[in-house]
Amino acid sequence: MDTQDDVREFLASRRARITPEQAGLPSFGGTRRVAGLRRAEVAMLAGVSPDYYTRLERGNLAGVSDTVLDAIARALQLDDAERSHLYDLARAANTRPRARRRPAKQQVRPGVQSLLDAMTDAPAFVRNGRLDILAANRLGEALYAPAFGTPHRPVNLARFCFLDTGAEDFYPGWEEAANTTVALLRTEAGRDPYDRALTDLVGELATRSDDFRTRWAAHNVRLHHTGVKHFQHPVVGRLDLAFEAMPLPADPGLTLTAYSAQADTPSHDALRVLASWAASGASAERT
């Protein structure tokens, strides 16, 4: 990842989406040569000089203070995910790559695997920031049977979403799933632009998928802690499941995601059928 390019494109894309009216600035009519705000207008809103903001938007965040970052975030009306991403980009810009230690191989501790296995009524898995599934319980593997049906290990949800033809059937709202997938990878890239495995994954997906490449260029980011996901499972049909994604404090970079269905709904009944299917061993035979 090129940190300067990421900074430049992220700030420019956020600036382009805000009109003077949205920023509370007077509009004098006429045709503007740039989409959204001008650099000088962002600088004025943030309380910095135009030259200084121009330097920042060109990708030079060296030495930038938290106060200035907060002011820019307010001027650009960044949401929580975008604000965190801006801070991550600044942190990366002020960290020398050679000073970073080589990360240890990510592994799921036996205690975490035992916790997964004890969750017999809820599909659950542990993933890293690249969306590799590093561990799952039986019901989690059954839920993601189409992804686990591929030979590649670890199963990668981004590779499945964009490179597997079955993904559009599995995700009824594939567009939203695709947008979320790329936003999560873009967020992770901001946290660690020197992750070689992530760089390789992004390069592979950008080379092989126009859909991925277009979304990656949008520089959208997202926090993904809770919500509802929709699946069209090949065995039990439609599933609308609430999820909770919980970072594991003892295992930096790993997140445990668990699903549940509201009681007395078709999805709750389908999830019970899925659990029976998983317990029978049929899902293991498919994967």
256 within domain boundaries: yes
User: Tens digit of pLDDT for each residue in 137-186?
Assistant: 999 999 999 999 988 899 999 999 999 999 999 999 999 999 999 999 99
Amino acid sitting at position 51: D
Q: What is the pLDDT of residue 232?
A: 98
CA 38 distance to own-chain centroid: 29
Q: What is the pLDDT of residue 162?
A: 98
φ, ψ (nearest 5 deg) of residue 286 = -70, -30
Same domain, 42 and 119: no
102 within domain boundaries: no
pLDDT higher than threshold 70 for residue 100: no
Percent of the chain with pLDDT over 70: 93
Same domain, 60 and 141: no
State the residue range of the domain holding 241. Answer: 110-286
φ, ψ (nearest 5 deg) of residue 84 = -60, -40
Q: What is the pLDDT of residue 287?
A: 46
Q: How many domains does the chain have?
A: 2
Same domain, 205 and 274: yes
199 within domain boundaries: yes
pLDDT higher than threshold 80 for residue 31: no
Block residue for tokens 């390019």: 5
| Domain endpoint, select from 45, 63, 95 | 95
CATH of the domain at 21: 1.10.260.40
103 within domain boundaries: no
Distance CA 151, CA 149 (A): 7
Same domain, 217 and 244: yes
| Domain endpoint, select from 54, 71, 95 | 95
Assigned token pair, 138: 């039986």
CATH of the domain at 279: 3.30.450.180
Same domain, 32 and 65: yes
104 within domain boundaries: no
Residues 60-86 have a mean pLDDT of: 96
| Domain endpoint, select from 49, 69, 95 | 95
Of 281, 263, 258, 264, nearest to 122 by C-alpha is 258
User: Tens digit of pLDDT for each residue in 180-222?
Assistant: 999 999 999 999 888 999 999 999 999 999 999 999 999 999 9
